[in-house]
Chain A
Amino acid sequence: MELAPIFIWLYNKMLEFGLGITAADIISLVVLAVVVFGFLAVTALFLVWWERKISAHIQQRFGPMMTGWHGALQTIADAVKLIQKEDILPALADRKVFFWAPVIVFVCSFAAYVVIPFGDGLIVSDLNIGVLYIVAITTFTIIALLMAGWGSNNKYALLGGMRSAAQAVSYEVPMVLAVLGVVLVTGSMSMNDIVRMQSAWGGFRWNIIFQPLGFLIYVIAATAEANRTPFDIPEAEQELVAGYNVEYSGMKFAMFFLAEFVNLFTVSAIAATLFLGGWNGPWLPSWVWFLIKTLGMVLLFMLFRWTYPRLRVDQLMEFAWKGLVPLAFVNLVYVGIVARWLNW
């Protein structure tokens, strides 16, 4: 069942009740914000549980089993525990920076969902610069990670913050170049336009078919962007204990933790939207297709994490600048030539 008509019906009902258009707009935006936030919070909790289960099965363990069906309530119990924890402020920390870092990470990771099309018509705001907006907003988290590393006044945290800044800046470049290939073909930065462009062939004219290299580059860069193994050096616990969030506890730690999983979902959702046809698909409702594709990408990222060792920091940079960036340029040239030639 499609969900978009429900929202439209609700909006019309509000107008029928005699609310002005402005009031109805404001109310519907608040409702949408709450719905998206609630959905993402539940998704993040689910992803934490899912990751624990997947890692457990890869490693021949059971994972959480005791809390609820197959430990399904485990992350809720964890969240409750974290909320109860004392909020420790290191004595020499830079208070303001220390306080705002998790807030910025949290807000930025959720703000990206303004332009993600969850289904046919299920988009909070179809900005005509959607792709640019996402790239800009996800980059903000880097500043927050640097703030966390600096504000904690801890050497390990500082190293972690610096690593994450260096890594994110390096991998932003190939990622944007890979995304640019899609924008080039579509001729629009609107996420909805990009999805509609892929709706031919019964919803299977995916960009990945024409730009496999671009997809590969995006996936690799996104793994780095989401700070996951083999690119998880900012929080390499065996080297830096925990990285930038080593001094955080309680709810602030939970915010970093949840934001990390929301980011994972974001990069997967973008991959699904840009390269895997978004919500296009036969028989099932569009939002189900979106979820299937996005969770499939999440699964891929999780499999990476539990099968690969971690790269070293200099190898990571080398890989980005000597490997991915030239490859991304090649991809861009290829997309340009083929797009012109095939007259997409």
Chain B
Amino acid sequence: MTEDLRTEEMIINMGPHHPSTHGVCRLVLTLDGEVVKKCVPVIGYLHRAIEKMCENRTYAQCIPLMDRFEYVTAMSTNWVFALAAEKLSDIEVPERAEHLRVIMGELNRIASHLLCIGVTGLDLGALTPFLYTFREREMILDLFEMTCGQRLTYNYMRVGGVSQDIPPEFIPKCREFLSIIDGKIDDYERILTENPIWIARNKGVGIIPEQMVYDYAISGPAARASGVNFDIRKDDTYSIYDRFEFDIPVFYGCDNYDRYRTRLGEMRQAARIIRQALDQLPEGPVRAKVPMNFKPHPGEVYARIENSRGEMGIHLISDGDKKPYRLRARGGSYNHLMAVPQIAPGLKIADLVAVFASLDIIMPEIDR
């Protein structure tokens, strides 16, 4: 006769101040030993009502708020807001400004992916790659600092262009960065990609099948790692992306490992885009003539761009006033987080942390 040991499920609160929930996400986990049975994300700890605050501010005043909407890639948030306002009132953005936007946006994409890869390593216990990626991220932040004076919340884009031209030392510094970044990505590959432990921890973990990408509207590198070849830069092109030659890295593994490889590939492609943009950079004004008291035409518009963590969109309704009538922001992270409860059951706690990191979930984008 066997007597079964009585086991109990344990409910554990992961977050809101847990080292690996990347901000203030709270996951209520039901655990059976080490295995996750159920995962319920609790959001809202970082809610700042940015969308509502925008309704009481002029378009120029909205841009600093957009910085805070998703502070890891603040250039993109600036950009998508400016894009929405420009779409409303058919403003022609000067050539030089468009190039600068592409350069900044792609630099920011590299910085964001560097953060993601470094932090994924950190969450898996590899402490060293994190400092390597931050060393390169530092160079990008220096470039931003010399351009707009800020390292995190840039407030750089304006409706109709960018706030100021780049300083003369920007281009040599940027070329210096571009000349080393490919070698540095090779370094990360050497320390991580072929590492048997890294492969064991990431391959086949956190599977997001292709159907799930459609079901949850997952976008960005997470979707492209599941074999969905969708990139807004190519498929619904905006700005001047149609003039550049670049590839979209697509992988079919659907797991953490391929999400990581997609990001590495995207960084190389982003560097390629920046090189072309620097080569083509024309002279001229960096801002269209837009009045201080900018009032767009009344109407409704949805602008979207390809951010480093998926589709980022702004739904803007204007009644012709100097303030937006209604603004709604969309970030990729929300959809990614909603997919986590679907992926989580059956994973170990350690894998859940890895999945969370590889989906690159950023809380301000979710709570806004």
Contacts and interface: CB of A to CB of B under 8 A. Distances in A.
Bound together: yes
A293 B84 CA distance: 66
A237 B350 contact: no
Interface in B114-147: 121-128, 131-132, 135
B90 to A, nearest CB: 49
A59 B132 contact: yes
Contacts of A55: 127-128
B197 A308 contact: yes
Interface in A300-322: 306-315
Interface stretch (B12-20, B103-111, B289-297, B360-368): B12-20
Contacts of B122: 238
Contacts of A307: 126, 128, 191
Given A159-B34, A230-B197, A313-B34, A241 B348 contact: no
B124 A309 contact: yes
A15 B19 CA distance: 60
Contact of A61 (B20, B131, B195, B351): B131
B330 interface: no
Given A60-B131, A239-B350, A309-B201, A232 B125 contact: yes
Contacts of B121: 309
Given A59-B128, A307-B128, A239 B349 contact: yes
B363 to A, nearest CB: 17
B198 interface: yes
B10 A309 contact: no
A310 B131 contact: no
Interface of A: 55, 58-61, 155-156, 159, 163, 229-230, 232-233, 236-241, 306-315
28 contacts: A58-B128, A159-B34, A163-B34, A229-B127, A232-B125, A237-B19, A238-B20, A238-B123, A238-B124, A238-B353, A239-B349, A239-B353, A240-B349, A306-B127, A308-B126, A309-B124, A309-B192, A309-B197, A309-B201, A310-B125, A310-B126, A310-B201, A310-B350, A311-B201, A312-B200, A313-B348, A313-B350, A315-B200
Given A239-B350, A308-B126, 10 more contacts: A59-B131, A236-B125, A238-B19, A238-B20, A238-B125, A239-B20, A309-B197, A311-B201, A312-B201, A312-B348
